[in-house]
Amino acid sequence: MYFIANWKMFGDSKTLKSLNNVINFVKKNKNKRFKMIYCPPFTLISSMSAKLAKSAVQVGGQNCHHAKNYGAYTGSVNPKMLKDAGAEYVILGHSENRQNGEDDKLINLKVKNSIDEGLNIIFCIGETLKEKKNKKTFSTLSKQLRIGLNKIKNIKKIIIAYEPVWSIGTGIIPNNDDLFNTISFIKKKIKHQSAKVLYGGSVNNKNINELKKIKNLDGFLIGGASQDTKKLIDIIQKTYN
């Protein structure tokens, strides 16, 4: 099972002290074979990587620029720079970035260049509330997968994170049947037996007991709740209880 912590715009050097609890927790629970990945802001990737270096916890970026090489892109960070800072993963296609103008073709270019740099991809897909009401969930996801992963051969480098836009930050999650069927649809679309599909969208320590019942899920992409170490550990513990 994957537990990916997306810190979004949160954290400073003092916040890293909270990772001591995570490091100790992971050491004590090696037998459960779960995988933890922290995706902090760019400013913390290097220091977080150093802090977690001797642990089994890995680090990723939350996004990157599409350019393969350096260039005149003020404020941007490309895959090469993420890798150099210590990142092993990068979140791409998150709905918050899609809403800011990123389209499937741009995301596809980011995926290609990130894989070329040796990064693993956490590839986010999801439908809006309007698309859900119009019964366009599957067609939306199909398009995002088809274009976003166009000509990507190394699927083993890709983790799919299904994040319905209408669920992120709202506290509302899909019902079990809908979620099971959507995850099944995604796995069939990818046509790769080893493909990992996670769920993200208001995952917390209160609804995890319901979410863990979805048998075809391979883990969770956790937003706000991951900023609190106690809540994140609680989510993992409840997943296995």
Q: In which domain, by residue range, is 169 found?
A: 2-240
Task: Provide the pLDDT for residue 64.
Answer: 98
| Proportion of the chain above pLDDT 90, given as a percent | 93
pLDDT tier at 193, thresholds 50, 70, 90: low
Per residue in 6-20, pLDDT (tens digit) is 999 999 999 999 999
Closest CA to 218 of 171, 186, 173, 172: 186
Task: Provide the pLDDT for residue 195.
Answer: 86
- CATH number at 76 reads 3.20.20.70
**Own/partner pairs for 129-132, CB < 8 Å, 24+ apart?**
129/165, 129/166, 132/164, 132/166
Q: State mean pLDDT over 219-230.
A: 97
How far is residue 231's CA from residue 72's CA, in Å, rounded to a whole number? 40
Q: State mean pLDDT over 147-155.
A: 93
Per residue in 160-187, pLDDT (tens digit) is 999 999 999 899 999 999 999 999 999 9
Full-model pTM: 0.97
pLDDT of 132 strictly over 80: yes
Per residue in 77-106, pLDDT (tens digit) is 999 999 999 999 999 999 999 999 999 999
| Region of residue 102 (phi > 0: left; psi between -120 and 50: alpha; otherwise: beta) | beta
Per residue in 11-59, pLDDT (tens digit) is 999 999 999 999 999 999 988 889 999 999 999 999 999 999 999 999 9
Average pLDDT value for the chain: 96
Asked if residues 124 and 91 have their Cβ atoms less than 8 Å apart, the reply is yes
Beta strands in the chain (DSSP E): 2-6, 35-39, 58-61, 89-92, 120-125, 158-162, 196-200, 219-222
pLDDT of 194 strictly over 70: yes
Per residue in 70-84, pLDDT (tens digit) is 999 999 999 999 999
Task: Provide the pLDDT for residue 71.
Answer: 97
For the annotated catalytic residues, the residue numbers are 94, 163
Residue 74: Cβ within 10 Å count: 5
Instruction: Read off the amino acid at residue 221.
Output: L
pLDDT of 134 strictly over 80: yes
Q: State mean pLDDT over 200-228.
A: 97
pLDDT of 133 strictly over 80: yes
Task: Provide the pLDDT for residue 33.
Answer: 87
Q: How many domains does the chain have?
A: 1
